[in-house]
Amino acid sequence: MPELPEVETMRRGIAPAVGMRIDRVEIPRGRLRPLLIEPAPPQFASHVRGSVLEAAERFGKRLALRLRATDAKSSRARLATAATPRWLVVEPRMTGLLLVAEPPTQEHVRLRLGGESPAGRPAELLFWDRRGLGTLRLVDADGLARLCGEDRLGPDALEISAAELITRLGGSARAVKVALLDQKALAGVGNLYAAEILFRAGIDPRTRCSRLSRPRWRRLHAVMQEVLAEAIELEGSTLSDATYRTALNEPGRYQARHQVYGRAGQPCQVCGTDVTRIVQAQRSTFFCRACQVR
Partner DNA sequence: CGTTCAACCTGGGCGC
Partner DNA sequence: TGCGCCCAGGTTGAAC
Residues serving a catalytic function are: 2-3, 61, 283
Residues 209-225: b if buried by 16+ CB within 10 A, e if exposed: beebeeebbebbbebbe
Q: Which of 84, 172, 225, 249 binds DNA (CB under 7 A)?
A: 172
User: Mapped to the 3 state alphabet, what secondary structure does 230-241 carry?
Assistant: HHHHCCCCCCCC
Contact partners, residue 27, CB within 8 Å, separation at least 6: 37, 41, 44, 45, 108, 109, 110
The 186-225 contact track toward DNA, x by CB under 7 A, reads: ----xxx---------------------------------
Size of the site for DNA (CB under 7 A): 39
For position 168 contacting DNA by CB under 7 A, the verdict is: no
Q: What is the C-alpha separation between 139 and 142, in angstroms, rounded?
A: 8
Nearest to 84 by CA among 39, 31, 119: 39
Position 3 contacts DNA (CB under 7 A): yes
Ranges of H-type helices in 181-239: 191-201, 214-233
* Interface stretch with DNA, choices 18-26, 49-57, 71-79, 234-242 (CB under 7 A): 234-242
Are 277 and 266 in contact, with CB atoms under 8 Å apart? Answer: no
Query: Residue 91 pairs with which residues in a beta bridge?
Result: 135
> Please, which of residues 23-52 interact with DNA by CB under 7 A?
33, 35
CB of 132 to DNA, least distance (A): 5
By CB under 7 A, tell whether 94 contacts DNA.
yes
For 254, phi then psi, to 5°, come to -75, -20
Task: Name which of 132 and 202 has its Cβ closer to DNA.
Answer: 132
Q: Is 249 in the site for DNA (CB under 7 A)?
A: no
Indicate which single residue of 11, 108, 130, 263 sits in contact with DNA (rule: CB under 7 A): 130
Minimum CB separation from DNA for residue 147, in Å?
7
Q: Are 48 and 88 in contact (CB under 8 A)?
A: yes
Binding residue (CB under 7 A) for DNA from 9, 51, 81, 237: 237
Provide the binding-site residues for DNA, judged by CB under 7 A.
Answer: 1-3, 33, 35, 60-62, 91, 93-95, 105, 130-133, 152, 172-175, 178, 181, 183, 190-192, 237-241, 243-244, 281-284
